[in-house]
Amino acid sequence: MGNKIINIGDVKVGTGEKILIAGPCAVESKEQIFEVAKTLSRSGVKFLRGGVFKPRTSPHSFQGLGEEGLLYLNEAAKMYGMITVSEIMSTEELKKHGNDIDVIQVGARNMYNYSLLRELGKLDKPILLKRGFSATYQEWALAAEYIIKGGNDRVILCERGIRTFERGLRFTLDISAVPYMKKLTGLPVIVDPSHAAGERWVIPSLSKAALAVGADGVMVEVHPSPENALSDGKQSLVLNDFDNFYSDIKGLLGE
Ligand code: PEP
Ligand code: MN
């Protein structure tokens, strides 16, 4: 299968130009997302992530700001000329808010949500399809097929760690998934080391490994004060240190 190139604005995903997606796990306030967008855009990051509909393991945890958060995310992206990446969890959310997100993320817990995948297949919009944490390569590729079969072939795959016997880190980053899924599907594959590791200190190493093995980009979580984050603070890079991280991996991004 040939390598698929996906155009998003003036960015071509799947070429030598590797993408960097960064932002908080969740949009928490207008101030927070504006601060993050300002710093990231100054470094040259084009993609701003920020969850507003959050698939939390516990129903008692912060569930995201919803519509209000999406408004802030879009205002910040517009102000700093960035492309938004955010998760949609259901067909109902998609109907209401699909138009307000540039790149729609399907989270690990929703990789098997076939009615959602089918609806995403009807859009002319890039989809970031995360790997379910117990999904095989085949299952993941077939989930992508659901979207493609509907007519939308703008799918980017995202390896975000799988569940194994190992308990040292939150999940196990399956680095083999990058070359394997690129070969199997021809689609671009990016890596999310933040959810794979669950701890900040290992993110630079895993990002470098991902890019070295041929990933088309990485997605990382960043927060102005991770100790106060409403979700995933432990794995979020400190915003003030972002430039260090960026210069560390810049060479591998092809910049
Ligand atoms: C996320 O990216 O915010 C997220 C919830 O990731 P995952 O679906 O991979 O757990
Ligand atoms: Mn998160």
pLDDT tens for 95-128 read: 999 999 999 999 999 999 999 999 999 999 999 9
Residue with tokens 């190139």: 5
How many angstroms is it from 89 CA to the middle of ligand 2? 14
pLDDT tens for 165-211 read: 999 999 999 999 999 999 999 999 999 999 999 999 999 999 999 99
* Best of 195, 231, 236 for a ligand 1 pocket test (most atoms within 8 Å of beta carbon): 195
Atom 9 of ligand 1 has which residue's CA nearest to it? 108
Report whether 207 contacts 193 (CB < 8 A). yes
pLDDT band at 242 (very low <50, low <70, confident <90, very high): very high
Residue 224 confidence (pLDDT): 98
Q: What is the end-to-end Cα distance of the chain in Å, rounded?
A: 27
Is 108 touching ligand 1 by the criterion CB < 6 Å? yes
Q: Is the pLDDT of residue 17 over 90?
A: no
pLDDT tens for 28-63 read: 999 999 999 999 999 999 999 999 999 899 999 999
Which ligand 1 atom sits closest to the C-alpha of 51? 3
Report whether 182 contacts 3 (CB < 8 A). yes
Atom 4 of ligand 1 has which residue's CA nearest to it? 107
How many angstroms is it from 247 CA to the middle of ligand 1? 25
Nearest to 187 by CA among 144, 146, 222, 150: 144
Q: Distance between CA atoms of 234 and 199, rounded to whole angstroms?
A: 5
Measured from the Cβ of residue 70, the count of other Cβ atoms closer than 10 Å reads 22
6-8 and 11-13 beta bridge pairing: antiparallel
> What ligand is nearest to the CA atom of residue 109?
1
DSSP-derived 3-state class of residue 40: helix
Q: Is the pLDDT of residue 9 over 70?
A: yes
How many angstroms is it from 162 CA to the middle of ligand 2? 15
pLDDT tens for 58-81 read: 999 999 999 999 999 999 999 999
Is 195 touching ligand 1 by the criterion CB < 6 Å? yes
> What ligand is nearest to the CA atom of residue 160?
1
Residue 16 confidence (pLDDT): 82
Residue 254 confidence (pLDDT): 86
* pTM to 2 decimal places: 0.98
Is 128 touching ligand 1 by the criterion CB < 6 Å? no
Report whether 131 contacts 158 (CB < 8 A). yes
Is 49 touching ligand 1 by the criterion CB < 6 Å? no
pLDDT tens for 203-236 read: 999 999 999 999 999 999 999 999 999 999 999 9
Task: Show contacts of 200-207: CB within 8 Å, 24+ apart.
Answer: 200/226, 200/234, 200/235, 200/236, 200/237, 200/238, 202/169, 203/235, 203/237, 203/245, 204/245, 204/248, 204/249, 206/173, 207/245, 207/249, 207/252
Q: Distance between CA atoms of 35 and 245, rounded to whole angstroms?
A: 17
Task: Show contacts of 104-107: CB within 8 Å, 24+ apart.
Answer: 104/128, 105/49, 105/130, 105/158, 106/130, 106/143, 107/55
Is 130 touching ligand 1 by the criterion CB < 6 Å? yes
DSSP-derived 3-state class of residue 242: helix
How many angstroms is it from 185 CA to the middle of ligand 1? 22
Measured from the Cβ of residue 238, the count of other Cβ atoms closer than 10 Å reads 15
Q: Is the pLDDT of residue 1 over 60?
A: no
What are phi and psi for residue 128, nearest 5 degrees?
A: -100, 105
